[in-house]
Structure 1
Amino acid sequence: MTAKLTFQDLTFYEMPDHVRIALLKHFYIEIEKELLKEGIGTYNIPDPHTIEFEGVMQEQAERKFYQILGKHIDELKSIKGRNTATYVHKNSGIPLMGCLSFGIADKGTTLLEIKPITGCNMGCIFCSVDEGIGTRKTHEFVVEKDYLVQEVNKLLDYKKHQGMVIYINSHGEPFLYADMVGLVADLKKNKWISEIHIITNGTYLTPELCSQLDKAGLTHLNISVSGFDAEKAKEVMGSTAYNIEKVKEIITYLTKHTKIEVIITPVVMFGINEREMGKIIVWAKQIGVKKVCIQNFLMNRRGRNPAKELDWEKFKEFLHQLEQEHSMKLLFDLKLEKTKEYPKPFKRGEVVQAEIGTQGRYKTEYIAVAQQRCITLPKVVQKGDNPLKKGERISVMITKSNHNIFVGEIVHKRGRK
């Protein structure tokens, strides 16, 4: 009698004294071999996505395996950088609204941002959220696809507004998310959605992946290209591994072989890469890219700030000059309509009862949970070696409350449930 457990999102690796289980390619936990043998039975890994147990019934093996997995899921780590990580799934007790780092961000318009994952493979010198190479962040998030789609569908059914535009705009590189094609395909089924954009640096794109995204229903790829010459491109992307020629090749492929509309989205930093903008525009026109949307670099308290901001009037003058030189529209008005938002359960200054849900992105940061919302606690001061635990009850004063994004500070600890 052999129980066979096969998974799409899990990959098994035999290690000397433990089994490494990768979740969605980029995250993993490690379980001691003896724990699997004693807890379930003698095991075998016939292929990377399957584990078999001898002498145990199928239902029993599944139940025990999920119990072991559940006990270890809080030990999840990111393969890239080895940061600790949280898997946000429908049974995790962590809502998808309230936190800017992951989940859903709704500002009450026809544009809805969703963030299935954190982390990045580049180290862009202009990154406003300090992601990727050299980041000070110590914790990552990855969201279960079905949970994310479920909550997006609920929100859009509440809004009841046609022509919704979805921006898959992670804090980092969204194509670190292993099930991106499935996410796009599921979102495309929603009757309220008219466009799906992915904001990316383009480094993970391949012809095969682009074709899959095209078939899944992706409408736009917003690709960041902030340097045209090889050395300048590496400088602004903060990585010697960045290959601008490969990114150019995949953009050319997209324009010739898919229905996906490419929008090239450079970030201009005056004194660093303003001379690259004209080169990018000329090349974009040559390969048939219809839209180049140049973004003004903006300083951020926790971001990387290699240059000063240019005031908006001077920035517009810069774009007008480029428009005249290259006969291409570069100034755009984002036409958004107002839509219904979920009611905000908290107001600024209010004290609410909450529980610790998980570690936040930084060492001093935690995510609390209350009334189906996350509350970011950015500066948690702890005494001694007694960190806050998941499920610990606390009183939180709301310090920021904006479009169902909440920030707070602990005013009283109440112990565990």
Structure 2
Amino acid sequence: MHHRIPHQDCKMTAKLTFQDLTFYEMPDHVRIALLKHFYIEIEKELLKEGIGTYNIPDPHTIEFEGVMQEQAERKFYQILGKHIDELKSIKGRNTATYVHKNSGIPLMGCLSFGIADKGTTLLEIKPITGCNMGCIFCSVDEGIGTRKTHEFVVEKDYLVQEVNKLLDYKKHQGMVIYINSHGEPFLYADMVGLVADLKKNKWISEIHIITNGTYLTPELCSQLDKAGLTHLNISVSGFDAEKAKEVMGSTAYNIEKVKEIITYLTKHTKIEVIITPVVMFGINEREMGKIIVWAKQIGVKKVCIQNFLMNRRGRNPAKELDWEKFKEFLHQLEQEHSMKLLFDLKLEKTKEYPKPFKRGEVVQAEIGTQGRYKTEYIAVAQQRCITLPKVVQKGDNPLKKGERISVMITKSNHNIFVGEIVHKRGRK
């Protein structure tokens, strides 16, 4: 076992350096950014009184004078732990939850974050929520204009650990991983590290990232290529500049930059690009032919056009097209452009973890965290999350983390659970 040698000089200065934390001096407090897009604020006096006089020599390091290394580390983590529930998202200032291995929050049970397993060779993982665009077709109401008030970000090592456990349970070769966040996955700061760690798993044959492409750069694409990413599924739902801005719900969207990075990927990496437009009839159906022609010109082998589907909580700018009419539309495009557009996902069945709850069952649970909406909470029981979508608060007495409750399961599908509170039991 290798022991880290503490940094300690004759003046007894403790030096704490982090990869995932960035320190910023503010007038009355220190802002600590977690994974680039989240932050907490700690009063300067609390750091001085709780640990010692501090200095920030570089963005990822904080030093404390007159204190031993181990003592500084222990006290800093104690302060960090007390403030982590005050985490906020830099983008939009929503509150946020950091889901880590000691958080008490499982990675199965909730659609918003973690792992979604439907018992096939395709496994979805969601390391982060939130988006930089405001796509008019978004089925989960993410990004610009969202009504959601709370975000999630998952510790990389915790996510990889739980994926590895699940795949060892399945024992099935040829697993396909879809990194398919509710939002834009490249908001996740350590995406390259996540891909590299997943690539080590012997059961995994493909790793896809579902993205709008706006955060991609040549340098990042090269890093992802070296890490072992096999596919980038890039949403391009408008070809002309103004139509693209309209569909993506943002005047900042630059379709030309996205086209440039897709061209770079096809010429300079082994990553296979799949272009995944969403077609909304009456809005952008005429863009599909233009996208196909361009994709063929630059060497993209697969364009997978998706039919817009209405969702109760999504943005619904158009009506759904009947599936038979949608297939006719794709068939016509296939004939016009000599490119296959109709695909069948050839998925095999795999083992699933047993479901601990059934619909209608009342289970004993605890409040784990706030949910995505103001009225939503995430409860925890038997290593599963249970989403409580409509919690009615009475007076100024909101539910608190750790509060014990009885929950009736109202939906139970592939280890995704929804419930409603039937009785509160106080805190343990």
TM-score calculated relative to the size of structure 2? 0.97
Q: Aligned partners of 2:315 and 2:239: how far apart in 1? A: 21
Per-residue CA deviation, residues 108-133 of structure 1 (Å, 9 max, x unaligned), is 00000000000000000000000000
- 1:8 deviates by 0.2
How far does residue 356 in structure 1 lie from its aligned partner after superposition? 0.0
Structure 1 position 253, deviation (Å): 0.1
SS in 1 for 2:366: strand
Deviation at 1:209, TM superposition (A): 0.1
- Corresponding residue for residue 76 of structure 1: 87
1:233, distance to aligned residue in structure 2 (A)? 0.1
* Residue 97 of structure 1, CA deviation: 0.1
Report the Cα offset of residue 268 of structure 1: 0.1
2:313 is matched with which residue?
A: 302
**Helix, strand or coil: the match of 2:189?**
coil
User: Is 1:244 aligned to 2:247, yes or no?
Assistant: no
Q: Does 1:405 align with 2:421?
A: no
Q: CA deviation at 1:266?
A: 0.0
Q: Shift in Å at residue 214 of structure 1? A: 0.1
TM-aligned CA deviation for residue 305 of structure 1: 0.1
Q: Report the RMSD for the aligned CA atoms in angstroms.
A: 0.1
SS in 2 for 1:59: helix
Alignment pair present for 1:204 and 2:253: no
Alpha-carbon displacement from aligned partner over 1:224-282 (angstroms, at most 9, x marks no partner): 00000000000000000000000000000000000000000000000000000000000
Q: Aligned partners of 2:408 and 2:200: how far apart in 1? A: 40
**How far 1:160 moved relative to its partner?**
0.1
Q: CA deviation at 1:86?
A: 0.0
Q: Helix, strand or coil for the counterpart of 1:362?
A: coil
1:9 corresponding residue in structure 2? 20
Cα displacement (A) at 1:142: 0.1
Q: String of CA shifts for 1:340-398, please: whole Å, max 9, x gaps.
A: 00000000000000000000000000000000000000000010111000000000000
CA distance in 1, matches of 2:322, 2:350: 30
1-structure distance, mates of 2:48, 2:393: 39
Cα distance in 1, alignment partners of residues 255 and 396 from structure 2:
46
Deviation at 1:84, TM superposition (A): 0.1
Instruction: Please state if 1:149 is matched with 2:164.
Output: no
Give 1:331 shift. 0.1
CA distance in 2, matches of 1:393, 1:59: 35
Distance 2:404 2:331 in 1: 55
1:113-169: CA deviations, max 9, x gaps? Answer: 000000000000000000000000000000000000000000000000000000000
Q: Distance in 2 between matches of 1:133 and 1:212?
A: 29
Task: Write the distance in 1 (CA, Å) between the matches of 2:116 and 2:409.
Answer: 18
* CA–CA distance in structure 1, aligned partners of residues 182 and 314 of structure 2: 12
Segments of structure 2 that go 5 or more residues without pairing to the other structure are 1-11
Task: Output the CA distance in 2 between the equivalents of 1:403 and 1:248.
Answer: 37
Q: State the alpha-carbon separation in 2 of the partners of residues 386 and 208 from structure 1.
A: 49
- Separation in 1 of the partners of 2:297 and 2:49? 64
Corresponding residue number in structure 2 for 1:50? 61
Q: Distance in 1 between matches of 2:322 and 2:193?
A: 41
The structure 1 segments of at least 4 consecutive aligned residues displaced by more than 2 Å after TM superposition are: none
Q: What is the CA-CA distance between 1:409 and the residue it aligns to? A: 0.1
Give the drift of 1:27.
0.0
Where do residues 3-402 of structure 1 align in structure 2 (5 Å cutoff)?
Answer: 3-402=14-413
**Cα distance in 1 for residues equivalent to 2:153 and 2:314:** 21
Give the match's secondary structure for 1:121: coil
SS of equivalent to 2:75: helix
Q: Alpha-carbon deviation of 1:40? A: 0.1
Gaps of 5+ in 1: none
Partners in 1 of 2:268 and 2:325 — Cα distance? 38
TM-score norm. by structure 1 comes to 1.00
**SS across alignment from 1:31:** strand
SS at match of 2:285: coil
Mapped partners of 1:15, 1:287: distance in 2? 48
The CA deviation string for residues 155-213 of structure 1, in whole angstroms up to 9 with x for no partner, is 00000000000000000000000000000000000000000000000000000000000
CA distance in 2, matches of 1:100, 1:350: 20
In the TM superposition, what whole-angstrom CA distance separates every residue of 1:307-333 from its partner, at most 9, and x where no partner exists?
000000000000000000000000000
- CA shift, 1:32, in A, is 0.1
Counterparts of 2:331 and 2:31 in 1: how far apart (Å)? 55
Distance 1:382 1:15 in 2: 35
1:123 counterpart SS class: coil
Please give the alpha-carbon distance, in whole angstroms, between the structure 2 residues aligned to 1:335 and 1:123.
32
Distance 2:158 2:207 in 1: 18
- Aligned counterparts of 1:28 and 1:59: Cα–Cα separation in 2: 24
Match of 2:5 in 1: none
Measure, in 2, the Cα distance between the counterparts of 1:128 and 1:385: 33
1:104, CA displacement in angstroms? 0.1
Q: Distance in 2 between matches of 1:50 and 1:251?
A: 36
What is the distance in 1 between the residues matched to 2:396 and 2:202? 51
Count of equivalent residues: 417
1:20, distance to aligned residue in structure 2 (A)? 0.0
1: CA distance, partners of 2:389 / 2:51: 41
Tell me, what secondary structure is at the counterpart of 2:233?
strand
